[in-house]
Amino acid sequence: MLSYTRNILDSLKTSIAGMRITLRNLRRPHTTVQYPEEQLTLPAGYRGIHTLDQDICIYCFQCSRICPVDCIEMDAERIEKKFLSWKQFTVDYNKCLFCDLCIEVCPKDCIHMDRREGSAKFALITDDRATLNLDLLAYRGLSEADQKNVAKVRAEAAAKAAAAQASAKEAGGAQAPPAG
């Protein structure tokens, strides 16, 4: 009889205790982040999709060489020995490990996995693997500043060449009469 009444009282007590817990949980705010309208706040060291600061890159190949899975392909042409005309900078996200080595090794700090502002991009949704070979270039060929620079250098070179030719002509003309 005693255990019977104890059972009844226990069941009532535990039910009410449980319901209090659930009720307390009612007052807690929800933890859902309604993606994609809201974004998760990513931690500071989060490694997302790369961004390349194309103007700073010196085409040293360090990132491509250190990549453990060889997923960085880059191709550019040096114009006037100094300026880069970009053709390709792709990272193959089929292979990329997000290991951070290419960021660590870059001497000019021009490649990032965009964790600087906590805005790292992590959505790689596709139904075709070929589209995961992402091109990071913002523009192809020379940058606008570089185009002006190249033009300036070429103009200076042309001017120098013209001046040299003119002086060579003079020098050549001065030399000419003794032969005749």
Catalog residues that contact other proteins under the rule CB under 8 A: 4, 7-8, 15, 18-19, 21-23, 25-26, 28-32, 34
The distance of closest approach from Cβ of residue 31 to other proteins in the complex, given in angstroms and rounded to an integer, is: 5
Query: Dihedrals φ, ψ of 126, to 5°?
Result: -160, 165
Q: Is 39 or 131 the residue whose CB approaches other proteins more closely? A: 39
Q: How many angstroms separate the CA atoms of 47 and 114, rounded?
A: 7
The distance of closest approach from Cβ of residue 10 to other proteins in the complex, given in angstroms and rounded to an integer, is: 12
Determine how many CB atoms are found less than 10 A away from the CB of residue 128: 6
Q: How many angstroms separate the CA atoms of 140 and 143, rounded?
A: 8
Q: Is 18 or 172 the residue whose CB approaches other proteins more closely? A: 18
The distance of closest approach from Cβ of residue 28 to other proteins in the complex, given in angstroms and rounded to an integer, is: 5
The distance of closest approach from Cβ of residue 22 to other proteins in the complex, given in angstroms and rounded to an integer, is: 5
- Residue of 105, 91, 95 lying closest to 51 (CA atoms): 91
The distance of closest approach from Cβ of residue 41 to other proteins in the complex, given in angstroms and rounded to an integer, is: 18
CA terminus-to-terminus distance, the chain: 142
Based on the number of CB atoms within 10 Å of its own CB, is 64 exposed (0-12), middle (13-18) or buried (19 or more)?
middle
Q: Is 23 or 44 the residue whose CB approaches other proteins more closely? A: 23
Q: How many residues does the chain have?
A: 180
β 72-79/83-92 pair status: antiparallel
Q: Is 23 or 130 the residue whose CB approaches other proteins more closely? A: 23
Q: Is 31 or 41 the residue whose CB approaches other proteins more closely? A: 31
Is 74 strand, coil or helix? strand
The distance of closest approach from Cβ of residue 6 to other proteins in the complex, given in angstroms and rounded to an integer, is: 12
